[in-house]
Chain A
Amino acid sequence: MTPLERWNPTVKLAVVLVLSTAALLVTDPVTPALCYVLTLGALLVLGRVPVRTAALAHVPFLVFGTSLLVVNVVTRPGGEQVPLGPFTVGADGLALGLCLALRTLFVGMLSVTLVLTTEPVRLMTSLHQHARLPASWTFAVLAAHRLLTELPEVWHTVRCAQAVRDPRRRRGHLPRSPRALATAAFALLVGAIRRAERIAVALESRGLGSGPRTTARPVPLARGDVVAAVVVLALAGAVVVAGAYGGWLTGIGRLTA
């Protein structure tokens, strides 16, 4: 296991949440850029994620970030006029747009780091052990997760079953009208609810909720996990302090200024 995979999932999730919330309070482009570089470095070195996987994971965030940049450049004409190719744009919009785009990349990489280095079952077990998530919730979510992995198959079955009963069907084609899709989605939902009923009966018959439980594969929580969290948060703090000294750090007040 890589160091990031070994890191206790609950602690990891907490650190990721703290960092992505804190990122909201910063509105300059330099700080999120630095944080993004650090996160990407950790993902590649400590997570040993292949460069190709990391690059592909960037695509949705780049799309989203570009959209945010364009919107802010268009809707905030204030500030100094900066020539940008054939256009002239306001410096305010450009700086804020860049910040929001870079923040998207930074928070996105945090999310990718969490997803690529955490096993869902291990996370739920750890949340149960260390975050005191009640056993009923842990097993309900894990059971629902099993259901999730089967959803695509159920979806296909429902669509085929509905196509068979459609008098106007063409051979080899599933109906693609919005109405057909909505009907199939509704059937999927009803089926899932009926399955929830059966899952609940199954869990109850295995004694869930009748008393304290033991854990099959416990997830360790050692001093190293906490130290790692402190180091990461201290590093983020150092980036902010550097910004304050360097004079480029700005807060939320800038949005309306």
Chain B
Amino acid sequence: MSQPDTCAPTAPPTSRRRRGLTLHETVLIAVLGVVFGFVYWAFVQLWAPLQLAMGPLADLASNVLAGAWIVVGPLATYIVRKPGAGILAETLAALVEVVFLASPVGPMLLLVGLVQGAGAELPFALARYRRYGWWVFVASGVSAAVVTFGFNAVRYGWLGQDYAGLRLAVQVVSCVVLCGIAARLLGDALARTGALDAFAVGTADPSSTRRTVRRG
């Protein structure tokens, strides 16, 4: 990258992951953001007619799918394992939807992407980007659900509605399954294809990964 290597000659190889993103990682995050932005956008197009058909239930049903919109955040964090990767990927996905594909949600989506990405990345940051066991992914889902719920409570006026508690419960379950656990499954499946061999998830020692899993 462009910054001068101030500590490179003497630094041990393990400290490399503390530095910024490499160009390869930047491009990977950009591509993940673009592909998932496209997938989300396609989902929204399918979602709109369904929403009208479901009438008043549609807004409640949006909580059921809440986690699906956040999956790229934990996935990018899992692959790259550096601070900010998840937030960047999620925000980029939102940017692609807004600027290149004209999502019906509007430019607010940029802010939504930022909030979603930050919510999902918080547990990984608390684990100092070192633990990638199932429980961290579950925590990531719960955190993403709570943070986005607080944001949407204001945005869609959920606050003070009769079913606010039920909404939160549904959203937590959705985010744990569709965002946290799905990201781990998808990341493992991608790693098995060998496409990620050049990244942190591919070079991580498999035995240590297994240990992390057993430890929870």
Residues of A within 8 A of B (CB): 13, 16-17, 20-21, 24, 27, 57, 60-61, 63-64, 66-68, 70-72, 74-77, 96, 99-100, 104, 107-108, 110-112, 114-116, 118, 120, 123, 134, 136-137, 140-141, 143-145, 147-148, 151, 185-186, 188-190, 192-197, 199-200, 203-204, 208-211, 252, 255-257
Among B23, B102, B196, contact of A111 (Cβ-Cβ < 8 Å): B102
CB contacts (< 8 Å) of B95 on chain A: these are 141
Q: Does B24 contact A (CB under 8 A)?
A: yes
Q: Is the interface of A mostly helix, strand, loop or mixed?
A: helix
A-B contact pairs, 6 of them (CB 8 A): A66-B52, A115-B98, A140-B30, A151-B38, A193-B32, A255-B154
Q: How far is the CA of A76 from the CA of B2 in the complex (A)?
A: 56
Q: Which of A67, A107, A136 contacts B107 (CB 8 A)?
A: A107
Instruction: Pick the residue among B1, B157, B198 that contacts A100 (CB under 8 A).
Output: B157
| Alpha-carbon separation in the docked complex, A63 to B58 (Å) | 11
Judging by beta carbons under 8 Å apart, are B159 and A256 in contact?
Answer: yes
The DSSP consensus for interface residues of chain B is: helix
Asked if B169 is an interface residue, CB under 8 A from chain A, the answer is no
Residue B9, interface by CB 8 Å: no
Within 8 A of A (CB), among B37-60: 37-39, 48-49, 51-52, 55-56, 58-60
With contacts A68-B157, A148-B34 known, what are 6 further pairs, Cβ within 8 A? A67-B55, A147-B34, A195-B31, A211-B2, A255-B157, A255-B159
Chain A CB within 10 Å — which of B23, B27, B161, B195 has the most?
B27
